Structure 1
Amino acid sequence: MSLAVRSCTFSDIEFRNIKRSHVEAWVKKMSQDGLAPGTVKTRYNNVRSVLRGARNDRMLATDPADGVTLPRARKAEHAMSIPSPSDVGKLLEAADPWFLSFVAMCGFAGLRLGEAAAVQLTDIDFLRRTLKVERQIQRAGGGEVLITPPKYGSERLVHIPDGLVQVLARHVEQIGVHSPQKWLFLGDGGLPPHQNTVGYWWRKTVKAAGLEAVKLHDLRHFYASGLIAAGCDVVTVQRALGHSKATTTLNTYAHLWPTAEDRTRSAAGAMMDDALGISADSLRTHQA
């Protein structure tokens, strides 16, 4: 919300003087500045919630954002970039020792950047192999670090693999934890690192791995795609990722689930394999 307000080009205009053209000019400028369609939509919705509130309080006769055309987002299957297992392996090998567990939590537990930065030792249950996601790190104005609940209230318990448990245990043993809160990762002032600090180390890791154009958030897609490939249903993936609704999961990853045509083809293929196997066994019996 703070980013949306700061980017708003009509924030100094009185409510009664705001016109639809002001909103349209703002949306156009965000697109020209290179913001992704999804980011433009999020900021537009944040500011529009204020305009609707003003209309409901009768400070505005109508909603000046009503009917404004937003940039069209690319389809998920075209916009999404999913690293290969080989690429993720290269990133893990290239990461600095302290950053390795950060990369691993994003790739094998699906944590967002801010969620991974906010992990404390007490969030990890090494015996039950679970990881609690209860908070996130956000950057406020002037580089201030804010500790807030996860995005969209997505507190959750993630069931993590043995390999990730070992990575986290090694991190605690060799790197240690910081401050009374026992943060796994340390930024400035005894607080966890914010997105700029993490971004620096991520770019350094990508370069060292010999990769290009891989975003940290792509590791979350890698995690989701792995769950779907393993046969996990929509609700399981939704809970693991911390989506507030199953429709969010489907809108993002529907193209990764097998279609009815895929299942029909697989079923028919299995039937054919069985039939051919029986035929071959029968033929061998008659030859004997």
Structure 2
Amino acid sequence: MAHIEDRWYKTLRHPTGRTERVKSELFGTGNRYRVRYITPDGRERSKSFPDRGKRDAEAFLVSTETDKLRGSYVDPVAGRMTFAEYAESWIRTRSFDESTRESTEFRVRKHLLPFFGSRQLASIKPGHIREWDAGMVGKLAPATRAVVFAHLRTILGAAVDDERIAKNPCSAKSVTPPRPVQRRVVPWRYDQVSAIRGGLAQRYRPMVDLGAGCGMRQGEILGLGVDDIDLDAGWVHVSRQVKLVRSRLVFGLPKNDRDRRVPLPDSVALVLRQHIDDFAPVSLTLPWENPANADRVTVPLLFTTTRRGAINRRTFDGKSWRPAVVAAGITPTRATGMHALRHFYASSLLDAGESIKALASYLGHADAGFTLRVYTHLMPASEERTRNAIDDLFGAGEKP
């Protein structure tokens, strides 16, 4: 039974039955009041309070018993685990694909553990979150800050679920989550795409056609097998990608773990037919998702290196793509990777009147709202169509 113990006094019972309250050997030393209670899992816990702190002890006792009745009790001992210990456990037990696990490990260990690592979970307050975020301004790009903050909030949210802390300090009203700067996509012109294509080796040029003509991601193009294209019906089945995990190449599912079908234009199909004639597909075997995985997958890849191996995107970007971008008169930035071909594809479809929902499906976006936010400014202006529609209805030049 929960109770408050006065450690400075003890009660003596005389043979006559009379009781007497006398000073204990602890009188005047240490905290006077000790609250003793049983946790929901049957463990005994205690908390001490100083002299003149009886009201605080009583309030703590009432609060603890109320939390136990509500099912919201959190054992203070559970929150003594350090952030570093809990974060490592979270990374180990969280369900990730291996490439995501690798990048998450890197961000947590580089940007979170130096500040939070030695702190106990229960000691992390909203002020610490604000202090960390302020220290990251100027050190990390806004987009990276937002991603790392999301990791921090998710880790502390998991600690709440595991009943190690009562609430997530990242969710406090005084904490403002960092937001990435929304930059407007400026798609390349056709002549720029054509110039980059011309700057690549012959065996790599159809990769540009697939990026600009089918909206495929770089890894999806690198993982495309000859069996994934239906040249006669005009479809591309995007079912895998080549990823770099812990410095090794692996096959894996496309982003968002969703495969999809994309319309294959006749012009791109013609290019692929010629590519298959010029460079026969090479069957290559790679691990699936995790380099340590015993499962192996064999795919007759359309695009391989001159040594008939799978293409490492980092090597390709440095030795082939970047020089072609420079040769086309474009200054290399983070926005001039192969992903820019997807923006060209999206802008072309929107300009032709394609719907956002269809575009999101072709691009492999999990949420059409994301597609709308990224590309809404590229949608054709509707003002003239509105004027023409009303004029056609009422008759041009007539007054209402």
TM-score bracket for this pair, using the shorter chain length? 0.7 to 0.9
What is the TM-score normalised by the length of structure 2?
Answer: 0.60
Q: Deviations over 1:107-151 (max 9, x none)?
A: 11111122111111111111112111111222222x122322111
Contact 1:138 1:147 in 2 (8 A): yes
Match for 2:224 among 93, 110, 119?
119
Does the residue aligned with 1:157 lie in a helix, a strand or coil?
strand
Q: Deviations over 1:202-250 (max 9, x none)?
A: 1021122222243321111110011111111121111111111221111
Q: Deviations over 1:125-184 (max 9, x none)?
A: 11112111111222222x122322111133110101111112222222212222342112
- Per the alignment, residue 156 of structure 2 pairs with 51
Match for 1:235 among 339, 357, 360?
357
Match for 2:181 among 57, 74, 91?
74
Contact 1:124 1:132 in 2 (8 A): yes
Give, in whole Å, the separation in 2 of the partners of 1:87 and 1:27. 39
**Aligned pair 1:10/2:112, yes or no?**
yes
- Per the alignment, residue 149 of structure 1 pairs with 253
Give, in whole Å, the separation in 2 of the partners of 1:217 and 1:114. 10
Structure 1 runs of 4+ off > 6 angstroms? Answer: 269-272
Contact 1:136 1:150 in 2 (8 A): yes
- Per the alignment, residue 49 of structure 2 pairs with none
- Per the alignment, residue 179 of structure 1 pairs with 283
- Per the alignment, residue 266 of structure 2 pairs with 162
Letter in 2 for 1:197: T
Gaps spanning 5+ residues in structure 2: where?
1-99, 285-298
Contact 2:112 2:152 in 1 (8 A): no
Give, in whole Å, the separation in 1 of the partners of 2:330 and 2:237. 31
The 1:233/1:73 distance shift into structure 2, 3 A limit, reads same
Match for 1:221 among 323, 336, 343?
343
> More strand by proportion, 1 or 2?
2
Match for 2:211 among 86, 94, 106?
106
- State how 1:180-219 maps to structure 2 within 5 Å: 180=284, 181-186=299-304, 192-200=310-318, 201-213=320-332, 214-219=336-341
RMSD in angstroms over aligned alpha carbons?
Answer: 2.9
Give, in whole Å, the separation in 1 of the partners of 2:198 and 2:222. 20
Q: Deviations over 1:243-266 (max 9, x none)?
A: 112211111112222455353145
Count of residue correspondences: 271
Where relative contact order (Cα < 8 A, 6+ residues apart) is larger, the structure is 1
> More helix by proportion, 1 or 2?
1
- Per the alignment, residue 32 of structure 1 pairs with 138
Give, in whole Å, the separation in 1 of the partners of 2:283 and 2:201. 21
Rg bigger for which structure?
2
The 1:208/1:64 distance shift into structure 2, 3 A limit, reads same
Contact 1:139 1:194 in 2 (8 A): yes
- Per the alignment, residue 280 of structure 1 pairs with none
Contact 1:4 1:44 in 2 (8 A): no
State the Cα distance separating 1:86 from its structure 2 match: 1.3
Sequence identity percentage: 28
Gaps spanning 5+ residues in structure 1: where?
277-288
Moved more, 124-133 or 44-53: 44-53
Give, in whole Å, the separation in 1 of the partners of 2:303 and 2:133. 37
What is the TM-score normalised by the length of structure 1?
Answer: 0.81
